[in-house]
Amino acid sequence: MKILPQWPTFFHGRVKPFGTVADWQGKFQAAGNASSQSFERIKGLGLTIGMDDYEKRKLRIFNQLNFLQLVAGFIVPIGGAFSTRHFPPTVWIVACLPAIINALVLTLNARRQYDLAKIAYFILYTLTTGIVYIWGINMGVELSFILTGILSVFFIQDISQMLFTLGMSMVSYFVLAGLCKNYTYELATANIVFYVFNQLLTLALIFYGLFLIKKENAGYQQSILQQKEVIYEKGILLQKQTDELTQLNAFKNRLFSIIAHDLKSPIYALRNLFRNMQQYDLPASEIKEMVPEVVGELDHTTNLMENVLHWARSQMQAYTVKPQPIDASELATEVIRLLRLQADAKSVRVTLKADVSAIAYADRDMIHLILRNLLSNAIKYTPENGAIEVGTHRTQNGVSLSVHDTGTGISAEALEKIRESNFYSTKGTAGEAGTGLGLMLCKEFINVNGGTLQIDSLPGKGSTFTFTLPPDEEATPLPQA
């Protein structure tokens, strides 16, 4: 007797295993992803980059509905294949005409012939569906006339064309599907299940089409609202930039007007001095008498031009803050020494009251400019034999620098203009001219260095300008009180 091999040995290499549940889940997921990607490609037939967003939305709906109707069109031959009553081949060919139109529409859209695609759908589809019923075939798709009429309202922009298509669809429905009752071939008698399925499927397409239209319109309206919000925000930003440019332009015009006016005096003074020296052979004693006035004019012009250059760099955003540890007392001493001649010319006494360990962390050049402008202004508005005190002190929050004078003081109205960063300047106690630009630079440079400026002043009582700077983190901390 011949012995058969055991089951595992006999079928080894002959039967492939079905795989695990995880394998089948992966296969189904891959198939689903492929189907989803294919459907997305069908919906995107004919889309171009230059298309308006609203037109893209409409085209995707149009492609989607045509594809679904194309798939539904194959229900007819499938139903006939399973029917007990066999129809002639001509009947199946005629019954498939609407689905062929759907395929033609998708092809035309893919070729970007959008107008022809609409004509094919809204005219030829209705005609071919009508031919099916005229031929004596009732496949249960009469509701497609209503679907075509509904879609014409959404997809056709021209009113006359839309009314014509809507009218043709409604007439076809009432005459061909509603009034005609005697049909030679009826799917209901051949296969009632597929007939009812056709009716339900067409009805589902109507509601699904309405749902898509409502959804896309809502999405489009939402995108419009978002665009309006973006436009509104950009409008606010544009208005803000316009206001800033207007202010900057007014500032520039005023500045150049001041520069043009203030540059005349020293240039004319120099010209007159050298012309007199050339023409009249002035003695050294007379030249010596004229020089101090010219030097004073040149000092003012030098300060003006330096401030203008610093302002121009700051407005062009060419200034880069380079913070570093600064010995406030040392810097104040340097500035006082620099302006000693200006103070001596008016017999103004300048003293320094400083903490030895007041170390700030800021841009040295900017702070030097700030102190120089504040001290120069204090000298300018302090009468002869007056006094100015420059102070540098450590505080709990950093380093405080101050310039206090016994000068003419500032009125409340003038202080308000200064705080609003408006040009404000008056003649000094010795008739010195000014522009107000230096103080504006001081405020700007103090801000970019993380400090604040405080002004305390009363007319006839003098003024105190105080600004604070961040401390150097590596410096010895101030003992707590």
Joined tokens for residue 149: 């009429």
Please report the pLDDT score of residue 389 as a whole number: 92
Position 420 pLDDT exceeds 90: no
Q: Residues of the chain with pLDDT > 90: what percent?
A: 4
Please report the pLDDT score of residue 198 as a whole number: 72
Please report the pLDDT score of residue 152 as a whole number: 81
Most confident of 55-69, 208-222, 279-293, 424-438: 55-69
User: Alpha-carbon torsion 84, 85, 91, 97, what sign?
Assistant: negative
Nearest Cα neighbor of 376 from 430, 421, 309, 423 is: 430
CATH no., domain 324-469 = 3.30.565.10
Nearest Cα neighbor of 367 from 344, 399, 405 is: 399
Three-class secondary structure of residue 138 per DSSP: strand
Strands 137-138 and 185-186: parallel
How buried is 383 (Cβ within 10 angstroms: 0-12 exposed, 13-18 middle, 19+ buried)?
Answer: middle
d(CA 385, CA 370): 24
- Residue 32 — very low, low, confident or very high, per pLDDT cuts 50/70/90? low
Strands 349-354 and 462-469: unpaired
Three-class secondary structure of residue 112 per DSSP: coil
- Residue 243 — very low, low, confident or very high, per pLDDT cuts 50/70/90? confident
d(CA 301, CA 147): 85
Most confident of 71-80, 123-132, 342-351: 342-351
Contact 94, 132 (CB under 8 A): yes
Q: What backbone phi and psi angles, to 5 degrees, belong to 464? A: -130, 120
Please report the pLDDT score of residue 427 as a whole number: 59
Nearest Cα neighbor of 453 from 436, 435, 437, 440 is: 440
Ordered by start, the domain boundaries in the chain are 20-230, 324-469
55 CB neighbour count, 10 Å cutoff: 13
Joined tokens for residue 210: 């309405």
Q: How many helices (H) and strands (E) does the chain have?
A: 18, 9
Position 403 pLDDT exceeds 90: yes
Average pLDDT over residues 255-273: 66
Least confident of 148-152, 179-183, 332-336: 179-183
Q: What is the pTM of this model?
A: 0.46
Please report the pLDDT score of residue 230 as a whole number: 84
Task: Give me the DSSP letters along 3-48.
Answer: PPPPHHHHHTTTS-----HHHHHHHHHHHHHHHHHHHHHHHTTT--
**pLDDT tens-digit map of 101-156:** 888 888 988 888 888 888 888 888 888 877 777 777 777 677 777 778 778 877 78
Contact 139, 198 (CB under 8 A): yes
Cα 253 to chain centroid, rounded: 31
pLDDT: which is higher, 107 or 43: 107
Please report the pLDDT score of residue 415 as a whole number: 79
d(CA 176, CA 174): 6
d(CA 290, CA 295): 9
Q: Measured between alpha carbons, how far is residue 457 from residues 159, 381, 388 in Å?
A: 76, 12, 14
Please report the pLDDT score of residue 2 as a whole number: 47
State which H helix or E strand residue 463 sits in: strand 462-469
Please report the pLDDT score of residue 72 as a whole number: 76
**pLDDT tens-digit map of 427-464:** 556 555 555 667 877 888 888 888 888 888 888 888 89
Position 326 pLDDT exceeds 70: yes
